[in-house]
């Protein structure tokens, strides 16, 4: 892990990240929509993106929604306020899963948010994601807040996005 580093991503970092994903998946229309959402939200300072980088390659990422003014997050009531950040978009490239990289990025993000004055963190998980739910409980997300439905962007233009049930939990810092 000597060549691994965690960063708070700049707007340009987010653009570069999504441009690479789009070039590798040109038929996935959702990536273009997510690029717009994330770049706009970083510009508007309603989200902070965090990247885990190994040998100059982004291998994991996550995002903290830090403002109720974020135009793109669903179900934001009771998840975000001046003291509470909502964590979303956890991703690790499959070949790097289970090696501790995301854990390092998560700890970096949590420390950064604490320094910024946040007292609580929230996140959502689909009930079918048992492994993720176990990880989140282990990290301290044990207070159930609410459940709601979220609709994901469609991969193919003209299709409807998938709607799923999400359970939301809280952790005090």
User: 48, 8 in Cβ contact below 8 A?
Assistant: yes
Structure confidence at residue 155 (pLDDT): 67
The CA distance from 90 to 6, in Å, is: 14
Structure confidence at residue 159 (pLDDT): 74
For the chain, give every domain's residue range: 4-172
Q: Give the torsion through C-alpha atoms of 26, 29, 32, 33, to 10 deg.
A: -170
Structure confidence at residue 145 (pLDDT): 97
Structure confidence at residue 53 (pLDDT): 97
Structure confidence at residue 154 (pLDDT): 65
Tell me which of 2.40.50.100, 3.40.630.30, 3.40.47.10, 2.40.50.140 is the CATH number of domain 4-172: 3.40.630.30
Structure confidence at residue 1 (pLDDT): 59
Structure confidence at residue 3 (pLDDT): 92
Residue among 62, 126, 121 at smallest CA distance from 89:
62
User: 50, 61 in Cβ contact below 8 A?
Assistant: yes
Q: Residue 89: left (phi > 0), alpha (psi -120 to 50), or beta?
A: left
Residues of the chain with pLDDT under 50: none
CA end-to-end span of the chain: 26
Length of the chain in terms of residues written: 173
């Amino acid at each position: 892990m000597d060549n691994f580093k965690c960063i708070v991503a700049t707007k340009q970092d987010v653009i570069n990240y999504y441009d690479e994903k789009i070039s590798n998946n040109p038929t996935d229309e959702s990536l273009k929509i997510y690029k717009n959402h994330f770049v706009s939200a970083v510009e508007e300072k309603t989200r902070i993106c965090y990247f885990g980088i190994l040998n100059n390659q982004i291998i994991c990422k996550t995002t903290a929604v830090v403002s109720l003014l974020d135009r793109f997050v669903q179900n934001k009531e009771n998840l975000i306020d001046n003291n509470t950040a909502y964590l979303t978009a956890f991703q690790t490239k499959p070949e790097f899963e289970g090696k501790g990289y995301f854990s390092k990025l998560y700890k970096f993000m949590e420390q950064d948010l604490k320094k910024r004055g946040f007292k609580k963190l929230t996140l959502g998980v689909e009930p079918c994601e048992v492994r993720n739910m176990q990880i989140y409980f282990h990290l301290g997300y044990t207070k159930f807040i609410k459940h709601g439905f979220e609709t994901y962007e469609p991969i193919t233009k003209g299709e409807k996005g998938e709607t799923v049930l999400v359970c939301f939990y809280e952790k005090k810092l």
